[in-house]
Amino acid sequence: MDFDFLSDTMGKLLAGVPMTLELALISTTAGAVLAVLLAVARAAFVPAAWFVRGYVYVLRGTPLLLQIFLIYYGLGQFAWVRDTILWPFLRQPYWCAILALTINTAAYGAEIIRGGLQSVPAGAVEAGRAAGMPRLLLYRRIILPIAIRQALPAYGNEIITMVKATSLASIVTLMELSGIAYSIISETYRALEVFLCAGTIYLVITFVLTRAVAGVETWLNPHLRASRT
Amino acid sequence: MTPTIALSGIHKRFGANEVLKGVSLEAREGEVISIIGASGSGKSTLLRCIPLLETPEAGSIAIGGETVRMRSKGGRAAPADAHQVNRLRASLGFVFQNFNLWAHMTVLQNVIEAPVHVQKRPRAEAIAEAEALLEKVGLAEKRDAYPAQLSGGQQQRTAIARALAMRPRALLFDEPTSALDPELVGEVLRVIRDLAAEGRTMLIVTHEMAFAADVSTRAIFLHDGQIEEQGPPARIFNAPTSDRTRAFIARHLNR
Ligand SMILES: Nc1ncnc2c1ncn2[C@@H]1O[C@H](COP(=O)(O)OP(=O)(O)OP(=O)(O)O)[C@@H](O)[C@H]1O
Ligand SMILES: [Mg+2]
């Protein structure tokens, strides 16, 4: 074992961690907001249901890699896209990757939230209606808090999937963790050691994330944690 | 004096099943009306029409003299003004058979939720009032417990406190003790009895005949979507004029 090489590689790879975390954080956060909007639109607004179903079908039915390519190489083909104020963002691989990751996770997230919405007891909703809650308030105070709690374990998996999916951003030249790993390998041809290092870092991130999601779950569910008195 | 609740000619159907066939009913302030009748006679549906949890196809509903405005939407009746419906709902307290507490909130949070977010009352004031109400239903020490930690009787008493927190004009109970273990029925009936003694306006759908006879100022026997007979409980339970009422009462008192 060449410990000097390993520690040197680790150092270089760790420099890519902030980018990996950034991509994951921004896209899962934006994706979660979008997911909630899509799921609620599908549940509460009939004309939107078809759109949401199509959206989910297309984004889950095609590889994320393809979606990143399409956005990075495809959007610039349209003159009108180049004319929008978004073009300064969309011409950068960073924002293309974030956009692709966001709309992709939103599709999976919308399905997870939909499951959560379906699990909300009808009685809880009825009690809210009987108390005179307008629809928006009902969603904000009763339906979504229950649905999101219900969806959290599945959503935790989606977040972890997203952290690993950020590695695809390397194909549009982003130097996140995997991008740096490839570049080291292309210089040194020592794939095994480099991938072992990169894998270890992903494992640590995933471990911390798993604990964090479990912590949030416990924190949000005191009514399940507490034993019957 | 305007009645607290006035229903007139209420019709309600589910598909081909006509559940309410023209029910008219007035509840004056301070009246305690028990609604009895066989399973499927339409008691719950009638009660649920009052806060428009069900929308009747025909008939009118007035709460505190204010008539609910209706319109026809795609050939079906619908409330014309959602704001009005929400305002009127917030002026009534509904207690469900299955409690329907909000599981993600503590007892206290359940009680202050609508006062704070629907009625926009100051939080501190709502908390003080909620604590007094929890004291009254015997749950002061459970204020920070979650519904899952409570017995059925305690959950239903929380639901009653939640309904009272709206400072309602009237309380509507739909079989408040039917989901309870027999040994827990008494504690809930005691709370409702106290509310009757305070002179609150209440409509109670119940299968507890002895309780209904005892607590109400008027009893209504519903049969097949119509009011078959109504009057003072002493007469309805002891000397009904309708054969159907007599048969129903006999069946239920002999259980
Ligand atoms: N949401 C609904 N959809 C379809 N049918 C319904 C609905 N709610 C009630 N019904 C039907 O309406 C009829 C009256 O029901 P309702 O619940 O009002 O009776 P009830 O007198 O309260 O009976 P119980 O004593 O069993 O509670 C029943 O035949 C029932 O099946
Ligand atoms: Mg019923």
User: Hey, where are the domains in chain A?
Assistant: 3-227
Helix (H, G, I), strand (E, B) or coil at A192: helix
**Predicted confidence (pLDDT) at residue A117 exceeds the cutoff of 50:** yes
Q: What is the pLDDT of residue A81?
A: 81
**Predicted confidence (pLDDT) at residue A98 exceeds the cutoff of 90:** yes
CATH fold group of domain A3-227? MetI-like fold (1.10.3720)
pLDDT confidence bin for A80, thresholds 50/70/90 = confident
Please tell me the distance from the alpha carbon of residue B242 to that of residue A7, in angstroms, as a whole number: 94
**Closest Cα of chain B to A37: distance in Å?**
22
Nearest to A24 by CA among A195, A206, A151, A150: A206
**Residues in chain B, overall count:** 255
pLDDT confidence bin for B200, thresholds 50/70/90 = very high
Please tell me the distance from the alpha carbon of residue B228 to that of residue B41, in angstroms, as a whole number: 11
Judge whether A137 and A155 are in contact, CB under 8 Å.
Answer: no
Judge whether A29 and A106 are in contact, CB under 8 Å.
Answer: no
Q: What is the pLDDT of residue A229?
A: 40
**Predicted confidence (pLDDT) at residue A226 exceeds the cutoff of 90:** no
Q: What is the distance in A from the centroid of ligand 2 to the CA of B43?
A: 6
A145 → chain B, closest CA residue: B104
Q: Higher confidence at residue A155 or residue A227?
A: A155
Please tell me the distance from the alpha carbon of residue A30 to that of residue A104, in angstroms, as a whole number: 11
**Predicted confidence (pLDDT) at residue A223 exceeds the cutoff of 80:** no
Helix (H, G, I), strand (E, B) or coil at B52: coil
What's the farthest any 2 CA atoms get from each other in chain A?
70
Phi/psi for B55 (5° steps) reads -100, 115
**Closest Cα of chain B to A140: distance in Å?**
11
- Which of B13, B20, B35, B43 gets mutated to test ligand 1 (max ligand atoms within 8 A of its CB)? B43
Query: What average pLDDT is seen over chain B?
Result: 94
Q: What is the pLDDT of residue B255?
A: 55
**Closest Cα of chain A to B152: distance in Å?**
12
Q: Is B39 in the pocket of ligand 1 (CB under 6 A)?
A: yes
- In B38-135, DSSP assigns E strands to 58-63, 66-67, 70-73, 76-79, 92-95
**Predicted confidence (pLDDT) at residue A213 exceeds the cutoff of 50:** yes
User: How large is the average pLDDT for residues B209-229?
Assistant: 94
User: B218 forms bridges with which residues in the sheet?
Assistant: B33
Q: Higher confidence at residue B7 or residue A76?
A: B7
User: How large is the average pLDDT for residues B242-247?
Assistant: 93
Closest ligand 1 atom to the C-alpha of B46? Answer: 18
**Predicted confidence (pLDDT) at residue B254 exceeds the cutoff of 80:** no
**Predicted confidence (pLDDT) at residue B15 exceeds the cutoff of 70:** yes
Q: What is the pLDDT of residue A225?
A: 64
The residues whose Cβ lies within 5 A of ligand 2, an ion, are: B 44
Per CB-CB distance under 8 Å, the chain A contacts of B101 are 124, 127
Instruction: Name the DSSP letter for residue A84.
Output: S
pLDDT confidence bin for B13, thresholds 50/70/90 = very high
Per CB-CB distance under 8 Å, the chain A contacts of B83 are 134
**Predicted confidence (pLDDT) at residue A179 exceeds the cutoff of 80:** yes
From A129, A133, A224, residue closest to B53, measured CB to CB:
A129
User: How large is the average pLDDT for residues B182-193?
Assistant: 94
Q: What is the pLDDT of residue A228?
A: 44
Q: What is the pLDDT of residue B183?
A: 92
Query: What average pLDDT is seen over chain A?
Result: 92
Burial class (CB in 10 A: 0-12, 13-18, 19+), B61: buried
pTM of the full structure: 0.91
